[in-house]
């Protein structure tokens, strides 16, 4: 079927200019579909929440002309490890076993705001792309011909019409609420803390790789190397609130426990994140659809959240393009919901929860069991390949395509 150019009222409205919302804008405009993006903040947030791009995600983004920007601002991690920080013992996962299965046999360590910047730079003055800051989508309605959203702005409220609306507006999504969907799940009892540190840990801690999940005698932490800083993640100590744990003197003490040195560490960013495991009842109601954190939340352990959101964006936008440009039936969006909800529920949430619990295991016997399994997997190329196909999100993309 021949493609035809979209009419003015075929503009797709997108709530949220994070990695998922702007990925939707990128994919749609590249298909020739006009979009309007509405972002509540006054500028693109420089969020450190996510910092890993998995091979599956880089493959998804490959034909969108932004991977080169990410590579220029990131660090390729070809090996990563679980590590006993006391003894130095490690279980190393070698991404090289994925060569031939992906164009990107590595994890790319790069802050999520690098992607949003790259997308805005690529779209530039593209006539198909509108982005309005300080504009919060607070409600949405629909009929058989299109959608209307209510936008809250400093200059006053505004009503905007379009063909479809994508809710990529995060955990508190107003689009999801307008769809009347529950967001069932649970909140984990422990807050995740992140500190960005400017210090060459790799030059001072023997055996450190770019991505490290570490155990101490009674605790855990992670260390991720980015191009300019190290991202250190940990939980508050027993009895500490996250506010107490993020006091400057407490942060310095925690870093000194990891690597004692003379003088204080240079801290460039701190953050505290409540961890949820939640999912919407459906990702689609008529012409209103959800993607990313607006649709599903999971533990950040393993770096699956942003990546799965970008996978949502690609799957959704391919289907919207077929509907808007090729005249495909709108029921194609039901397949999007089935595919991506199934992956979020049965794959992403299960794996990230398993990672969360593996990182935090404390008992001597329990740790020994986990350690033996890690050694078994990393010692067998076939088992390691299977593990990395899952953790790198390559297999979840294959699974999604098999869902009708």
Residues 196 and 304 in one domain: no
- Token duo for residue 97: 């076993």
Contacts of 224 (CB under 8 A, 6+ apart): 51, 52, 109, 210, 211, 212, 230, 231, 232, 233
User: Alpha helix (H) ranges present in 17-167?
Assistant: 19-30, 55-61, 67-73, 112-123
- Token duo for residue 14: 């997108």
Domain boundary among 231, 255, 273: 273
Largest CA distance in the chain: 68
Q: Which domain holds residue 229?
A: 192-273
What per-residue confidence (pLDDT) applies to 3? 34
Helix (H) or strand (E) run with residue 317 in it: helix 305-326
CATH number at residue 325: 3.50.50.60
Domain boundary among 273, 294, 323: 273
DSSP reduced 3-state for 400 = helix
Task: Report the candidate in 107, 155, 158, 154 with the shortest Cα–Cα distance to residue 137.
Answer: 158
Burial class of residue 1 in the structure, from the number of CB atoms within 10 Å of its CB (0-12 exposed, 13-18 middle, 19+ buried) = exposed
Number of domains composing the chain = 2
What per-residue confidence (pLDDT) applies to 62? 94
- Give, as one character, the DSSP assignment of residue 64: G
Q: Decide if 344 contacts 194 (C-beta within 8 A).
A: no
Q: List C-alpha distances in Å: 240 to 250, 375, 392.
A: 10, 33, 34
Residues 118 and 13 in one domain: yes
Distance CA 215, CA 38 (A): 42
What per-residue confidence (pLDDT) applies to 6? 43
Tens of pLDDT, residues 274-285: 999 999 999 999
What per-residue confidence (pLDDT) applies to 9? 67
Residues 337 and 212 in one domain: no
Examine residue 198 and state whether it is found in any structural domain, yes or no.
Answer: yes
What per-residue confidence (pLDDT) applies to 50? 86
What per-residue confidence (pLDDT) applies to 12? 98
Residues 267 and 288 in one domain: no
- Give, as one character, the DSSP assignment of residue 241: -
Helices (H) and strands (E) in the chain, counts: 13, 22
Examine residue 341 and state whether it is found in any structural domain, yes or no.
Answer: yes
pLDDT beneath 50, residues of the chain? 1-7
Residues 302 and 222 in one domain: no
DSSP reduced 3-state for 147 = strand
What per-residue confidence (pLDDT) applies to 359? 86
Task: Report the candidate in 246, 190, 182 with the shortest Cα–Cα distance to residue 220.
Answer: 190
Residues 40 and 115 in one domain: yes
Contacts of 252 (CB under 8 A, 6+ apart): 264, 265
What's the pTM value of the predicted model, to 2 decimals?
Answer: 0.95
Examine residue 159 and state whether it is found in any structural domain, yes or no.
Answer: yes
Residues 114 and 129 in one domain: yes
Residues 351 and 284 in one domain: yes
């Amino acid at each position: 079927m021949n493609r035809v150019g979209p009419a003015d009222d075929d503009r797709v409205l997108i709530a949220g200019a994070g990695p998922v919302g702007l990925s939707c804008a990128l994919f749609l405009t590249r298909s020739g579909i006009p979009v309007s993006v509405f972002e509540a903040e006054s500028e693109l947030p420089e969020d450190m929440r996510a910092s890993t791009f998995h091979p599956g995600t880089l493959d998804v983004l490959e034909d969108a002309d932004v991977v080169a920007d990410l590579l220029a601002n990131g660090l390729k991690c070809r090996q990563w490890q679980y590590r006993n920080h006391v003894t130095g013992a490690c279980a190393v996962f070698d991404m090289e076993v994925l060569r031939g299965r992906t164009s990107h046999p590595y994890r790319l360590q790069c802050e999520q705001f690098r992607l949003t910047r790259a997308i805005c730079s690529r779209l530039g003055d593209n006539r198909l792309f509108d982005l309005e800051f300080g504009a919060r989508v607070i409600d949405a309605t629909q009929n058989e011909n299109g959608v209307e959203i209510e936008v809250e702005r400093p200059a006053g409220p505004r009503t905007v019409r379009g063909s479809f609306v994508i809710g990529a507006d995060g955990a508190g999504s107003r689009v999801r609420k307008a769809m009347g969907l529950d967001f069932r799940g649970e909140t984990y009892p422990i807050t995740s803390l992140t500190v960005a540190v400017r210090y060459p840990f790799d030059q001072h801690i023997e055996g450190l790789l770019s991505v490290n999940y570490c155990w101490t005698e009674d605790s855990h932490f992670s260390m991720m190397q980015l191009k300019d800083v190290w991202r250190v993640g940990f939980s508050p100590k027993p009895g500490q609130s996250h506010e107490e744990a993020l006091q400057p003197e407490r942060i310095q003490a925690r870093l000194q426990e990891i690597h004692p040195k003379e003088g204080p560490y240079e801290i460039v960013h701190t953050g505290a994140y409540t961890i949820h495991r939640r999912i919407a009842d459906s990702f689609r109601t008529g012409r209103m659809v959800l993607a990313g954190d607006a649709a599903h939340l999971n533990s950040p352990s393993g770096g699956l959240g942003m990546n799965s959101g970008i996978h949502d964006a690609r799957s959704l936008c391919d289907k919207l393009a077929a509907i808007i440009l090729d005249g495909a039936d709108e029921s194609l969006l039901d397949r999007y919901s089935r595919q991506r909800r199934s992956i979020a529920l049965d794959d992403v949430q299960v794996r990230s929860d398993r990672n969360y619990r593996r990182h935090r295991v404390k008992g001597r016997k329990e740790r020994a069991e986990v350690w033996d399994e890690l050694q078994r997997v990393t010692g067998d190329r076939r088992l390691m390949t299977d593990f990395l196909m899952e953790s790198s999100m390559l297999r979840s993309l294959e699974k999604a395509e098999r869902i009708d």
